Structure 1
Amino acid sequence: MTSCLLLLCALGLAVAVPVPRALNRATWPDRTPVLGLWVWQCLVATALLSCVTVLVLGTAAIFRTVRDHLFGSAPPGVVAAYQPTSAPAWATALVLLTAAGAAWTVAVLAGQLRAVRRARAAARVRLRERAPELPAGLPAARGPLLVLEEEHADAWWMPGDPSRLVVTTGALRRLTDRQLDAVLAHERGHARARHDWLLHLSAALAVGFPKVPLFTHFCEQTHRLVELDADDTAARQCGHVTTALALIELNQHRGIRSRASSRRLLDDRVNRLLTPPPTLEPRQRTRIAAAAALAPLLPLLITFAPGIDALD
């Protein structure tokens, strides 16, 4: 069991530090944003599973009661494979550390969920103030698209029940019909892929663990890749140049007020649309997707390997 704990710790550290730093420097996710998002999610799942398995095995190594409950119905050989000769002193510290991390993760995610619900409720209140509901008895409902009176060109998707696509009159005046279709396709791409929950998850982990490269890079890359993915959705429907021009029109009023990172991302998005990079070959995409999908299985394989070996 001691060797399992050490291997799981090594795997968790590798996934938390050097692997995300290498992936953060890679350029291929910009070519296939959906695959990049998949790989980041698999890395996060691998790290979290490593921590969970360390917590379970470490607790079993320290407390005989837990060990009896876990392996009570297992064959004698399997029980012997997980029987520690003596619980090392560092195992107790490791269990306490991972238990604290697990509790903090749950607290951070719960806090993020509450914050999202409050923010959505506040946004809907503001929306009702700017665009009050139609009186009862009128035949037409507002539907999924809502137009707000606003000088600046803007459009966004408001998730929830019901979800809304919101566009300002400034956007209707500045954008051509084709550009408006591209903007709406972009926002519908966010809605169909449920990018909002992925953004909330990455933000919560980055805030909760700001010193862990995996979570900070996951948050940064998620914000980037979801926009590239939605841009691709719009470009496939309305054309790359049309989508790039729509992005420029929507962001002209922001100018120097926007953050440097936002301006840099906008420049990258426009350049990417005007000069689309070659996508990965199907064989490359398959290999990367399969390798990423297998990564979360590594903690489980390390955990169950002694028991499987004992059954042979």
Structure 2
Amino acid sequence: MTALLGLLLLGLLLSTVAPRLLARARWVEREPVLGLLVWQCLVVAVLLCCALSLLLATSAALPELRVLLFSGAPHGVEAAYGLQGAEGWGRLCAALLAAGGLQTLLALTREVRSARALRDHRHAELAHRAPELPASIASWRKRRRRRERLVVLENVRPEAWSLPGHGSRLVVTTGALQQLTDRELAAVLSHERGHVRARHHWLSQCAQALATGFPGVGVFSAFRDQVGELVELAADDRAARRHGRTTTALALAELNLGRGVFGACPPGLAQSPRRVDRLLAEQPRLSVRRRLHLTVAALAAPASVLLLAAAPGIAALF
């Protein structure tokens, strides 16, 4: 039972202490893509702790599963895990962890269905407001449309957003075309294109599903909040690298006069003044060595979970 208790304690540590330290880290805003990687590795490590704990607890509760799990293991490996005689604790842990796993799957399913329904509704609404050209007229643009489609809507309010998924759309209004310069418009489109190509909507859906399924678990709510902010910063950086930080900051300010939001994110998710200040500050990126160290540390979180789970069996071989 040492491995099972160790996994539960490690999962508790990763889900309480690590998010607080990461939320206070100042380097995250300078390296949002790396910050997203670190948060994802942390969440994967917590989920691995739960999944492997469920496997060991179920093996302790069900001798048949234990025999199947260790059927090809060398002599002494099964005894090293100490699962025999722990049926009571195994049933309790397995029931709690299985309930959590089922809740995760249900929350993720609901979030995916809800997001898909909303996306289909927005695609249908967009098709109604800006119908496609007949195939005979638009056939010469067929290859380009498969990659992405730029749609212009009649609206005096300057806006720009993206619709991800199959047949992704980049949408701008005539107000944005009139108010933005060519370079600023290119920066806006690069920002939205970054969301689509990096599949930020998938990451946001998973983060929202975990936070909804486990409202009392701090690591999942912090993950949702950080993802909402970091994906915007990452898209800002993509636009700034291609079109300049000043141009991107001006486009951000022009689009959000009176709104406080860039793109199609929900209000309050990412405040534009802070992002404009960040772009204009031009803080240097972290050194390559520092980024490498942080990447290794991020990958070490899920690796340590796997090592802890395999430790009794490895020790039994020596």
Both structures adopt the same fold (TM-score exceeding 0.5) = yes
- Provide the residue aligned with 1:273 in structure 2: 279
What residue number does 2:92 align with?
Answer: 93
Alignment correspondent of 1:240 = 245
Alignment of 1:9-28 (within 5 A): 9-28=8-27
Letter matched to residue 54 of structure 1: S
Aligned AA (1:63):
L
1:39 alignment partner in structure 2: 38
> Aligned ranges for residues 142-157 of structure 1 at < 5 Å?
143=145, 144-157=149-162
- Computed over aligned residues only, the root mean square deviation of the Cα atoms, in angstroms, reads 1.9
Written as runs of structure 1 = structure 2, the 5 A alignment for 1:111-190 is 111-139=110-138, 143=145, 144-190=149-195
Greater displacement, 42-51 / 141-150: 141-150
Identify the range of structure 1 (185-194 vs 283-292) with the bigger mean alpha-carbon deviation. 185-194
Instruction: From the superposition, tell whether residues 260 and 227 of structure 1 become closer, same or farther in structure 2 (CA, over 3 Å).
Output: closer
Q: Is the 8 A contact 1:185 1:234 kept in 2?
A: yes
State the AA in 2 paired with 1:178: R
Q: Secondary structure at the match of 2:137?
A: coil
Question: Is there any run of 5+ residues in structure 1 with no aligned partner, and where?
Answer: none
SS in structure 1 of the partner of residue 268 of structure 2:
helix
Q: For 1:265 and 1:191, how far apart are their aligned partners in 2? A: 21
Distance 1:275 1:255 in 2: 19
- TM score, norm. by length of structure 1: 0.94
- What are the within-5 Å matches in structure 2 for residues 170-249 of structure 1? 170-249=175-254
**Which one-letter code corresponds to 2:305 in the other structure?**
P
Tell me if the contact between 1:134 and 1:141 (Cα under 8 Å) persists in the aligned partners: no
The correspondence of residues 257-268 of structure 1 with structure 2, limited to 5 A, is 261-262=268-269, 265-268=271-274
- The answer to whether the aligner puts 1:293 opposite 2:299 as a matched pair is yes
Q: State the Cα deviation string for residues 57-93 of structure 1 (Å, max 9, x = none).
A: 0111121111001012222211222343521644332
Q: Is the Cα contact below 8 Å between 1:189 and 1:230 reproduced in 2?
A: yes
Alpha carbons 2:42, 2:298 under 8 Å: kept: yes
Once the two structures are superposed, residues 255-291 of structure 1 have per-residue CA deviations (whole angstroms, 9 ceiling, x without a partner) of: 69x98834x6212100001112221111111011011
Task: Indicate if the aligned counterparts of 1:152 and 1:253 stay in contact, CA closer than 8 A.
Answer: no
Please give the alpha-carbon distance, in whole angstroms, between the structure 1 residues aligned to 2:72 and 2:89: 28
CA distance in 2, matches of 1:259, 1:44: 23
CA distance in 2, matches of 1:259, 1:123: 15
* Distance in 2 separating the partners of 1:190 and 1:39: 19
Q: Residues of 2 paired with 1:192 and 1:255: CA distance?
A: 24
- Contact 1:21 1:213 survives alignment (8 Å): no
CA 122–151 in structure 1, closer or farther in 2 if over 3 Å, else same: same
Query: Is the contact made by 2:2 and 2:81 (CA closer than 8 Å) also made in structure 1?
Result: no
Query: How far off its partner does 1:96 sit?
Result: 0.9
Tell me how far apart the structure 1 counterparts of residues 114 and 42 of structure 2 sit (CA, whole Å).
25
Aligned residue identity for 1:84: L
Look up the SS of the partner of 2:271 in the other structure: helix
Q: Which moved more, 1:227-236 or 1:79-88?
A: 79-88
Q: Report the 3-state secondary structure (helix = DSSP H, G, I; strand = E; otherwise coil) of the residue aligned with 2:28.
A: helix
The separation in 1 between residues aligned to 2:260 and 2:68, in whole angstroms, is 62
Letter in 1 for 2:257: Q
Paired with 2:218 and 2:177, the residues of 1 have a C-alpha distance of 42
Pick which of 43-52 and 278-287 moved more: 278-287
Identity %: 49
State the match for 1:106 in structure 2. Answer: 105
Once residues 180 and 259 of structure 1 are traced to their aligned partners in structure 2, the CA distance between those partners, rounded to angstroms, is 21
Structure 2: which 5+ residue stretches go unaligned?
none
In the alignment, the residues of structure 2 paired with residue 32 and residue 209 of structure 1 have an alpha-carbon distance, to the nearest angstrom, of 28
AA matched with 2:290? Q
Partner Cα separation in structure 2 for residue 183 and residue 191 of structure 1: 13
Residue type of the partner of 1:33?
P
How far, CA to CA, are the matches of 1:84 and 1:91 in structure 2? 8
Q: Within 2, Cα distance between the matches of 1:272 and 1:49?
A: 35
Q: 1:255 to 1:60 in 2, by over 3 A?
A: closer
Distance 2:282 2:101 in 1: 42
CA distance in 1 between counterparts of 2:180 and 2:55 reads 56
Picking from 278, 288, 291, the partner of 1:282 is: 288
